[in-house]
A and B are shown apart, each in its own frame.
Chain A
Amino acid sequence: MTHGPRIVDARLHLLSRQVLDVDGEPVSTVDDLELRGPDGSEARAGQEAHVAAILVGPALVTRLFGGRAPTSRMPRIAWDDVGHLGTAVELAVSSDGLDADWVEHWVRERLVERIPGGRHDPEGDR
């Protein structure tokens, strides 16, 4: 087992990685990371700063096309919910409780579940 901190580069090891929930269900990709100072204050140059949250969805749009969106309103996953870092970022919580996954839930409930067989388990009929 590894001891001491693991040194990583954000772009190389975190950004654009797949985020999985505690059951291994895909949730999103890491579209951006929010930095904060001690006690959740605004991060400042040269002052102690840490990763506070994984930003998803709209953060991808601003990274693709530039421009700025108010970070506070972006769908986010708190960094405290992260459990493991491997070839994916693995959360310690279930995706069902995450607001960041609302589009998937919307498409599921409004469209796919309403088509007959939408809840059928393809592996079940053997």
Chain B
Amino acid sequence: MNVGDLLDARVLGPDGVPLGVVVDVRLALETRDEPDDGPGGREDREDREDSEDRKDSEHDAALSSRARRDAVGGAVVLGLLVGPRRAGSYHGYERTQVRSPWPVPQIVRRLHRGTYLVRWQDVAAVDDGAAAGAGGWSVRLAPGYAELPPELG
């Protein structure tokens, strides 16, 4: 099973009622403590270690203090984000606090109102849609599943 198989799969309730589609797959990434960035961080250049080493390390330091970057280990599946429609472009606004540039986030949020998180334990079956007329991948939720808020922690 691949993440790409789950994305855009139809989501069915325990009784087979269509609920929407899988918008995203939520994972928990193990993070490691790491005082030093170590070698190789960024878009770094080969073949020039000798002459421009110093500049390189400055480069790395300047960058890593800006964008988020973690040392990571294993990635465990936590659950599925279920939305009313395919995520399409610029997905993710409904799960973050970003509000600018107006009006892009506002429009995307409107399109994805009603997205919720379902725990992986509450997924009863994943069907690959190989059977005739099944119409692609689908996911069936277990009885008593909970609709959790979709925000990223």
Chain A residues near B (Cβ < 8 Å) = 1-12, 14-15, 20-26, 31-35, 42-46, 48-51, 55, 59, 62-63, 68, 71, 79, 82-88, 90, 121, 123
Contacts and interface: CB of A to CB of B under 8 A. Distances in A.
B39 A22 contact: yes
Interface residues of B, number: 58
Given A9-B24, A22-B40, A25-B46, A32 B29 contact: no
Q: Is the interface of B mostly helix, strand, loop or mixed?
A: mixed
Contacts of A50: 74-77
27 contacts: A1-B34, A6-B28, A7-B29, A9-B27, A9-B95, A10-B24, A11-B23, A11-B24, A14-B27, A23-B40, A24-B40, A24-B44, A25-B46, A32-B2, A34-B1, A34-B2, A35-B3, A42-B1, A44-B126, A46-B121, A46-B142, A48-B76, A51-B3, A84-B69, A85-B69, A86-B69, A121-B47
